[in-house]
Chain A
Amino acid sequence: MKPTRTTGSVIALWVFGVLGVFVAVLPLLAGPYAQAIGRSVLTYLILAVSWDMLIRSGQLSFGIAGFFGLGSYAAVMAGKWLGMAPILTLLLAGVVVALVAAAVGSVVLRLRGMYFAITTLALAEIFRIIIRNWNNFTGGPNGALLSGVIFGGNAAATYTLMLVLGVLAIAASEWFEHGKMHFALTAIRNNEVVAKSSGINIYRYLLIAFVITSAMQGVVGASYAQQFGFVTPESSFHMNYTLIPLALALFGGMYTSWGPVVGAVILGVLGEYLKLYIPYGHLIVYGLIIVLVLLLMPKGIVGLVRARMREVSHD
């Protein structure tokens, strides 16, 4: 009864796989500038993937920047006060953010729709305000500085770290898409009453998804802070960390592992390219592309490709 893969989709998978490895390895050959772009693309890619993993349950989060910033601070504080090795602070940030997400999740996951979305937005702001006012620990409005950056600033090593994190994020997303999680989250998104009646413990699955995706965002925040060696309330909790991943996932296509990945790579690289030609106008072009894509193909690029492939296979 298992659906068999068509030859077309096997070929597509291979082409996609080879292309993916090529794109991933390319910056390592092309030098520091390409590696810097690659790092930035991967940062937003992981955030976009994690956001998509949660929205598969129907829960729209505007709180990415909150967990990103929290992870940034956790890592820098661990380095500053405990002298912890940079790579270990990533792990610690993941654990700290997971614990915070579990605690707040037990409350906010009772909310749905707009109420959940607005509350996650407010959460991010609450985290920022607490950190901004906790002067003697976090450095207050001035932020905090580390004595060094991760891998001594070696661009290739840092890129490799981000690449590993990116692969882990995609693996987590694939696990969500192909395991029991997929059934639970899709059922919750489509109809909670039906989900319950099938024996799905809605709260439990939402909490698992919320904790895992928040921890991912925390680890990315930690890796970002360790690359630059400093945090400030304004930069570490910047709204861009919420808005850009959201746009990337919408552009690439929601509810799939590969949609946010495709969106992040295409828009990320395109953004850098546009920056060279229209230094301050690239964000406008970027915005226009997103608007056009959403108007013309509301399921994103991956959604469109899948629909086309289905048509071809039915002909």
Chain B
Amino acid sequence: MTESYQLRTEKLTISFGGLVAVNEINFSLSPGEIVGIIGPNGAGKTTLINLLAGLYYPTSGRVIFNDEDISTRPAHERARLGIGRTFQLIHPLEDLSLIENVMNGFLFAQGMSLRHARDAAAEVCILLGLSDLDRPVSRLNILETKQMEIAKALATAPKVLFLDEIMAGLNSTETLTVIDTVKRIASEQGLGVGVVEHVMGVIRQLTERVVVLDGGRIIAAGPYAEISRDPQVVSAYLGEAHDAED
């Protein structure tokens, strides 16, 4: 890869009223690496993604992408720059078919014509194992919905991709399918991937590096094996006197 891009934040902070949801976070994501973002409910994981994707603007601190400060760029521009994401609560566009849902990214983030977008969307859907692409989204099962969610994000031609609890609701076989897909796509396309997940097994299998949030702050960072033994992480994330593997 000749292109070198990196997403990083400098003391990224956002507060809602008196609540500091994300507090002076320094986070970075490089091409080809898969980083886990974990922490208890309310730790600020999704808020961090929303700040990176431009749905929120920081109270202070900066978001930097390719050496450019993008802190005040709106969400649709960040999608075009190459910051893709999926949503924790999945909202398929119910009045568009499966393939039309995926076409949006090609049409608007990449500026393709309808004809090209349709072909490109079909390709991405097939890559993810989706078929019968003209179905209304109401006919998709949970696995297909998750696959479509990833396809929608890939359609924006992301350089970094955030998956927000994409495995939630999947059984173990389906989870393995999605883990394989994510690994394959990340390495093939040289994507930087940020994975928010509650299932520790997924984090262990998927990520090289883990960032642990609690109360809006990073309390630990490092390889999974190290993190899972960190007493501070164990007590914050799982309650005291528990082992992270349980």
Interface residues of A (CB under 8 A from B): 1-3, 179-180, 183-184, 186-187, 189-191, 193-202, 255
Contacts and interface: CB of A to CB of B under 8 A. Distances in A.
A190 B136 CA distance: 14
A199 B91 contact: no
Contacts of B108: 180, 183-184, 198-201
A307 to B, nearest CB: 12
A202 B122 contact: no
Contact of A194 (B91, B100, B103, B122): B91
Given A197-B85, A198-B108, A190 B95 contact: yes
A1 B55 contact: no
Contacts of A198: 76, 79, 104-105, 107-109, 152, 155-156
Nearest to B153: A197
Nearest to A180: B107
Given A180-B107, A198-B109, A198-B152, A190 B118 contact: no
Given A1-B118, A1-B133, 11 more contacts: A1-B119, A186-B95, A193-B55, A194-B91, A194-B152, A197-B55, A197-B152, A197-B156, A199-B108, A199-B110, A201-B108
Q: What 5 A-B pairs have minimum CB-CB distances, sorted nearest first?
A: A199-B109, A198-B104, A199-B108, A196-B75, A199-B79
Contact of A187 (B55, B96, B134): B96
Query: Chain A contact residues: over half helix, strand or loop, or mixed?
Result: helix
Interface string B114-140: 100011001000000000011000000
A197 B119 contact: no
Interface in B72-116: 74-76, 79-80, 84-85, 87, 91, 93-96, 99-100, 103-105, 107-110, 114
Nearest to B54: A196
Contact of B105 (A2, A179, A193, A199): A199
A200 B109 CA distance: 7
B43 interface: no
Contacts of B84: 197
A201 to B, nearest CB: 5
A195 B91 CA distance: 10
Nearest to B102: A198
A199 B76 contact: yes
B96 A190 contact: yes
